[in-house]
Structure formats: C-alpha cells, structure tokens
Chain A
Amino acid sequence: MAIFSVYVVNKAGGLIYQLDHYAPRADTEKTFSFPLDLVLRPHDERVVVAFGQRDGIRVGHAVLAINGAEVNGRFTADGKDVLEFLGNPANYPVSIRFGRHRLSSNEKLMLASMFHSLFAIGSQLSPEVGSSGIEMLETDTFKLHCFQTLTGIKFIVLADPRQTGIDTLLRKIYEIYSDFALKNPFYSLEMPIRCELFDQNLKLALEVAEKAGPL
C-alpha cells in the first residue's frame, strides 16, 4: 500500500481523525532455545529487538506474545517481567512472536499535537515573511505531506516516497471533509469525526490516488 495513513488535526492541535491504510503487519513467531541469540532491550513500555536481526525478525520489532499469550507491555500475561522470564533457562523452549508495534490512539494524539507545535515553529523560523508551515517531511521510508487550510485545519498524509499526486489528494480530502463532515448537521466543529460517509469517501479517494500514482 503506497499511502500509509491520514491524520486530520483541528485548530487547537487535537487529532480529530486518523486512518491507517497499510497492509496488516507481518508478525513472525518462532520457537527459541536457550540462550536467545537476539539482543532484547526495554524501550518505552515495550521490549524491542536491539540486535541480531534474522529470519524476518528485524531490529525495532517488539515482543508481541510469548507462548501464544499476548504480553502486556514489559510484562507477560501472568505478570512476570519479560526480560527476566527470557533470561531463565528453565522457561525454554519458548515461542515468541515479534512484530512492528502499532501506535496506540494515545500515542497518535500526542504525536499529532507535537506536529502541530512543530508546524507553528516552522513557520516562525522562516527567514522569509509570510511563509507557510511544514509542507513535507521526508525520510528514507516515507514522506509526510501536510496541508493547512485557511481555517486552520491540517490534513496530514503519510505515503511512500515515490508516490505522486499527494497534493491533489490533500485537496480532495479537504473537499471530502467539507462535504461529509461539515455538512453533517450532527457533527460539531473541532470534535473527532465519526461520520461513516467521510470514512467511505476517504478510502475511495485513497484508492484512486494510489492507482493514479506511479506504483
């Protein structure tokens, strides 16, 4: 999937809509015997692979489940610390599932408001007067495109770096927002968007944009 996600941020910097459009992540489950040849370390509230990439288990993947039971952050399902559990040879052989950790909705909210602040700083740092905020953020694995309307709403699209036509897509998303969110009399401004029609039309627009791009 060439377009990964869409975020809509309101005037105050709060996330009012979020859509993930990429294919479900590929989890890898393997059985290991002591000693574990992967180097694991704690990171935020998770246990991630720091070194020892092999067989689809990549650096940065988090421990998702042990012996079929989903882990709860840094602790196993029955409350034991994961790293302690995996350090004890008596627990082996053990089956561990690794995969990319998907952002929780709280994390997305936080990241959206952080981006909102960076956007404002970006426009103030500019040496030219009257410059816009951040329009594009480029990394080696994705490009983040941002469009701020004159009313202060930001539409953010994360896409593959090779995907073209994102500018038209952003304006299309603005049209869809003004149609299916704003014209819905039961939708209050600046609140999270929970409109079926908005979802449907947005997904349609994403599909059209992906087909039209070079990929």
Chain B
Amino acid sequence: MSRSPGRKQENHKISRELFVLTYGALVAQLCKDYEKDEDVNACLDRMGYSIGVRLVDDFLARSAVRKCRSYSETADMIAQVAFKMYLGVTPSVSCSSATGNEFSLILDKNPLVDFVEELPAERASLCYCNLLCGVIRGALEMVHLAAEVTFLQDRLKGDAVTEIGITFLRKPEDRKHKRN
C-alpha cells in the first residue's frame, strides 16, 4: 500500500500470522456459537459485508482507479488490484457465461487458509472464507453494482482449486440514473 510521501513513513504492517490466526479464531468462535453451518456462513457473509462497505472507499482512495465501464473490467479490477492490495495474491479471472455477467476468480493461494488442512467432518458445508464473499458483495454494492458472490469450489472441501463466483445482477431501471 502506498501512502502519500507527505506522511511520516511509519510502517503500518502487522504480522500476517496474527491476521490469519485472528480470522481462524473468529471462525472457531462462530462455530461454537452456531450449530448449523448455514448460520455460520450467513454470519461470516454479514460481517464481510460490513467490512466491504467501508473497505471500498479505502481501496478507491489509495488506488485512484478510474470508473470501470464494464463487468469484466470490474472483475479484473477486483482480482488484479484489490486482491493484490489487501491479500497479496492475484486470482485469475474467467467469464463463465454468455451473458457476460458471471465471473469466476480462481485462487491458487489463499492466505486465510494457511494453517487449515481440511474441514472437520461435522462442518462439511462450512465456507471457511465466506467473509471474502461478503466483502466483495458489500464493496460492489457501494459502487452501485448489485452482485451475488459465493464459493463455487473450495480446496478445503476437496476440490482442486478455490473458486469464487461473482454474478452481477442487472437492474435495467438503474441504468438511466447511473451516477457518473
């Protein structure tokens, strides 16, 4: 992250281990609080949403990117700039529908699951990184793009790769009032 040169050059980096452990503790506590996996997933998504609505302004302020003019530009921006800035990884993007509003981000490295091998048997349908889905959904909503974000494949569940699917929901009446 680059801060403007006028500020004092304090290094605001904290340990990655601390961040990963904090996330793990969060999920573990939620698992203790809720019995059903769906509840934990929903809670993680809500938390991610609150993070996303605030994170998007930080992203826009620091990266000074221009307004994206298409869904594929937006998906590229999320993968190549945002993921890189916040998690240090760059997922690859692929468009998975003819209508051009469904995209997949394929993560080969996910820092959040550094210390997790696989999910326990009683938590088979837990989406461990569902927070990320909420973050993306919240961030997109603040720039007036409604989207559904879910995990399509998860390495923790035995799939080959981790894949996040973003489906942009088209609202035709919003096009007219699109703020520039």
Q: Which residues of A contact B (CB under 8 A)?
A: 120, 123, 130-133, 148-153, 171-172, 174-175, 177-179, 182-183, 189, 208
Contacts and interface: CB of A to CB of B under 8 A. Distances in A.
B39 interface: no
Given A123-B180, A132-B180, A208-B6, A151 B142 contact: yes
A162 B180 CA distance: 28
Nearest to A133: B180
Contacts, number: 50
Contact of B57 (A148, A151, A172): A151
A152 B179 contact: yes
30 contacts: A123-B179, A123-B180, A148-B179, A149-B60, A149-B61, A150-B60, A150-B143, A151-B56, A151-B57, A151-B60, A151-B143, A152-B179, A153-B57, A171-B61, A171-B64, A172-B6, A174-B60, A174-B61, A175-B3, A175-B61, A175-B62, A177-B61, A178-B57, A178-B60, A178-B61, A179-B58, A182-B57, A183-B58, A189-B53, A189-B54
Nearest to A152: B179
A174 B56 CA distance: 12
Contacts of A183: 54, 58
B143 A178 contact: no
B4 interface: yes
